[in-house]
Amino acid sequence: MLLRLPFALAVRKMAGSQRTSPELQLSGTLFHEHWWLSAVTGDNFREVTETAGGRLVGRLPFILARRKGFKVMEMPPFTRVLGPIVEAGIGKPQTRMLRRFRIVGRLLDQLPDAHYFRQLLDVDNHEVQAFLDRGFQLSIENTFRLDCRVNGPEEVWANMRDKTRNLIRKAEGKYTVGAWGDVKEFIRFYIESIEKRGKKNEIDFTRFPILFSQCRTRGQGEILVARTPQGRPAAAAFMVWGNGVMYYLLSARDIALADSGAVSLLIWHAIQDAHRRALIFDCDGITSAASFQFLSGFGGTIATRLVAVRAAPVFGLLRYLRGQYFSGPG
């Protein structure tokens, strides 16, 4: 059984080479940008749109794939948040709220049939009622954020936990920090670091070289590396930024060379860079008690993201019976 949606489909497949003005794109986060979606999906993304008076007032990008015979809409690779973008226009707060509700509802009604939908929404995207009215289940995922537009490095440093500052001080005496331009070496380092911890790498890096190239071309991404005096990489982190926010997207460390202080040092460098660029620094999602303990040491404030999920009954039943998400080619 598919999720049946009553409105006519207005879906566009976006070409990576297509250049659209920011106004026409209704750019929300960095991850909503067409160039980003093109890079991480190989142009295999679509979006539904809503217009009013011949003007674009809403868009919702998505990918549609097959997993074990099911049609699913999940987050694109390396994409932290997504969800609808809306221009509610002018008017009283209540008027704008109702207009947003209608626009988001119409975007959701235009989505194609699928057995499963899941997107993580941005911290400023809380169109709860429109999702609930259409049968979505909502949960939350928190992240830590530091407003580096307001708080300078001195204030951020003062607000850090003592343990975090001590780890950074020790790491500063062990490593030098710089940019890492060799994307293949970074991928190799990341995978080897995961495997050394006895875990399996679950990230598909196929599109990563293209994404990294696009980020560097636009001046919107960088791999930071902490090296030993002998030049060996001890830790590395991939930071991306755009539309007012810098995201700590990926990191890895060689457990044979470095403790968590090496990654803390890289985050500290990124925070200082976010201040120079007048950006908010997003510490990524809080996925466990361990990540909460680690990221809380930088003194940020918790921001909440909504996770919107909708599953056809047969898909939900099979997920329950198997006890896992469906993955891999269909």
256-265 mean pLDDT: 93
Spell out the domain ranges in the chain: 11-135, 144-302
Asked, colleague to colleague, whether 11-135 and 144-302 share their fold, the answer is yes
Higher pLDDT, 88 or 136: 136
Predicted pLDDT of residue 38: 98
Single pTM value for the model: 0.87
Amino acid at residue number 128: V
Predicted pLDDT of residue 17: 31
Confidence class for position 5, pLDDT limits 50, 70, 90? very low
Q: What are the strands of the beta sheet with 11-13, ordered from one edge? A: 11-13, 46-52, 55-62, 85-86
304-312 mean pLDDT: 94
51-71 mean pLDDT: 92
Predicted pLDDT of residue 258: 86
**Fold topology of 11-135:** Aminopeptidase (3.40.630)
282-306 mean pLDDT: 93
Predicted pLDDT of residue 88: 82
Model confidence at 288: pLDDT above 70: yes
The overall average pLDDT reported for the chain is: 88
Predicted pLDDT of residue 319: 60
As its CATH architecture, domain 144-302 has 3-Layer(aba) Sandwich (3.40)
Predicted pLDDT of residue 12: 44
Confidence class for position 322, pLDDT limits 50, 70, 90? low
Predicted pLDDT of residue 316: 61
Model confidence at 207: pLDDT above 70: yes
